[in-house]
């Protein structure tokens, strides 16, 4: 099976397997063997270096991402509050300087529910599709979605509680997200109502920020409670069809995170901080089929793995513009 198809299957819920999806290149095989022979001698020194890096690294991509996410959502708020008509509407559907924009999953729900495609919806959908095709598909989740930001804070609390052995994390089958994607699509088609939009924490939070809080925020609070006390980032990992929609876009995006196995120490720091650690399976010792491997389309391009890697083995790569190591 080709790497691309294998990564799509991983996004749809297949568990990563130890057997590589295609034959390892001779160069990668030679590198794996060399690392296997020398790995034990350097283990203590490597772990010490990683601890020093953890204590001192500056998380530049995290700061950039949080700043971008906050500014985009505040632009909605100020445009409405000051009536300056720069960015009107909410994340589900909006107009930026008069140009229509429509969230891809919301647009799909509307088309299925009302069985009609209006010109403004088509324009907005194509515009957003082009934007996120260029910017990496699921980058929408980590760089724009307001629920992603507050869920990160919930995750911090969750990890602290686990560290103190107050709670345990519970894992669900990732295929649940695909099943829910199909269910919500069928509900829209059969009922003529955009059912998912009523429970989407992304839409609820976006509208609450702009137009004021509603009782729907209780649903968001419930999701955060589940994520704090029961399952780490449960909504984004196992339920949200928005992430899967943008994941499909990410298959064709030229912007990806590239993994270079050469300098990697395989300590797994990247997988510990990642929202979707299954996309980082190549970083496990002996797994990478090539010297350079692009992460799969379920990657949110959040940059947390880039921030935490002390050897720069993970980096942003725009096909045709940037060079791989």
Angle at 72 between CA 113 and CA 154, to 5 degrees: 85
Domain boundary among 198, 215, 248: 248
What percent of the chain has pLDDT above 90? 74
pLDDT range class, residue 95, cuts 50, 70, 90: very high
Do residues 197 and 242 both lie within one domain?
yes
Please give the tally of structural domains in the chain. 2
Concatenate the DSSP letters of all residues of 133-162 into one string: HHHTSTHHHHHT-HHHHHHHHHHHHHHHHH
Do residues 70 and 36 both lie within one domain?
no
How high does pLDDT run on average in the chain? 90
Distances (CA, A) of 322 to 49, 65, 280, 311: 28, 20, 21, 18
pLDDT range class, residue 6, cuts 50, 70, 90: confident
Do residues 70 and 218 both lie within one domain?
yes
Instruction: Give the model's pLDDT for residue 34.
Output: 82
Tens of pLDDT, residues 186-230: 999 999 999 999 999 999 999 999 999 999 999 999 999 999 999
Place of tokens 């940037």: 322
Do residues 294 and 217 both lie within one domain?
no
- Could you tell me which of 317, 247, 313, 308 has the C-alpha nearest to residue 59? 308
Instruction: Give the model's pLDDT for residue 19.
Output: 52
Instruction: Give the model's pLDDT for residue 168.
Output: 96
Place of tokens 């990992």: 237
Tens of pLDDT, residues 258-316: 999 998 988 899 999 999 999 999 999 888 999 999 999 999 999 999 999 988 999 99
Do residues 275 and 175 both lie within one domain?
no
Query: pTM score, two decimals?
Result: 0.90
Q: Is residue 57 part of a domain?
A: no
The yes-or-no verdict on residue 52 having pLDDT over 90 is no
Domain that holds residue 44: 3-50+254-318
* 7: its two tokens: 């990564």
Do residues 177 and 266 both lie within one domain?
no
pLDDT range class, residue 17, cuts 50, 70, 90: confident
Q: What is the mean pLDDT of residues 63-89?
A: 95
Do residues 265 and 228 both lie within one domain?
no
Do residues 211 and 280 both lie within one domain?
no
Mean pLDDT is highest, among 1-10, 15-24, 126-135, for 126-135
């Amino acid at each position: 099976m080709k790497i691309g198809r294998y990564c799509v299957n991983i996004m749809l819920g297949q568990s990563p397997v130890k057997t590589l999806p295609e034959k390892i290149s001779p160069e990668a095989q030679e590198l794996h063997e060399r690392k296997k022979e020398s790995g034990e001698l350097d283990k203590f020194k490597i772990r010490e270096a990683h601890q020093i890096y953890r204590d001192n690294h500056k998380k530049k991509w995290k700061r950039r991402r949080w700043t971008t996410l906050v500014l985009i959502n505040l632009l909605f708020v100020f445009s409405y509050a000051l009536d300056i008509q720069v960015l009107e509407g909410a994340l589900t559907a909006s107009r930026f300087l008069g140009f229509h924009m429509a969230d891809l999953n919301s647009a799909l729900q509307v088309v299925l529910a009302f069985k009609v495609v209006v010109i403004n919806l088509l324009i907005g959908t194509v515009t957003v599709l082009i934007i996120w095709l260029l910017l990496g598909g699921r980058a929408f989740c980590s760089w724009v979605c307001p629920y992603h930001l507050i869920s990160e804070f919930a995750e911090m609390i969750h990890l602290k509680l686990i560290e103190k052995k107050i709670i345990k994390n519970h894992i669900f089958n990732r295929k649940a997200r695909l099943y829910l994607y199909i269910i919500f699509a069928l509900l829209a088609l059969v009922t003529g109502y955009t059912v998912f939009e009523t429970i989407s924490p992304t839409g609820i939070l976006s509208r609450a920020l702009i137009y004021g809080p509603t009782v729907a925020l209780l649903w968001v609070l419930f999701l955060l409670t589940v994520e704090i006390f029961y399952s780490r980032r449960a909504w984004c990992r196992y339920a949200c069809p928005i992430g899967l929609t943008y994941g499909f876009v990410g298959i064709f995006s030229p912007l990806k995170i590239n993994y270079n196995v050469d300098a990697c120490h395989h300590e797994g720091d990247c997988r510990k901080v990642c929202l979707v650690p299954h996309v980082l399976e190549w970083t496990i010792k002996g797994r990478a089929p090539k010297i350079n491997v692009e992460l799969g389309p379920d990657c949110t391009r959040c940059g947390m793995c880039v921030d935490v890697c002390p050897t720069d083995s993970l980096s942003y790569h725009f096909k045709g513009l940037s060079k791989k190591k």
